[in-house]
Amino acid sequence: YMEELQKLPKGALILKIIKGHRYYYLERRENDRINYKYLGKPSNKIISKYIKAKELRQKYAPLLKRVLDQIKFLRHALNYGQNPG
> Which pLDDT score, from 0 to 100, does residue 58 have?
92
pLDDT at 83 over 70: no
> Which pLDDT score, from 0 to 100, does residue 85 have?
52
Residue 50 phi/psi, 5-degree rounding, is -75, -30
Cα 44 to Cα 29, 48, 57, 68: the distances in Å are 24, 6, 20, 36
pLDDT (tens digit, 9 = 90+) per residue, 27-79?
999 889 999 999 988 889 999 999 999 999 999 999 999 999 999 999 888 87
Residue 54 phi/psi, 5-degree rounding, is -65, -45
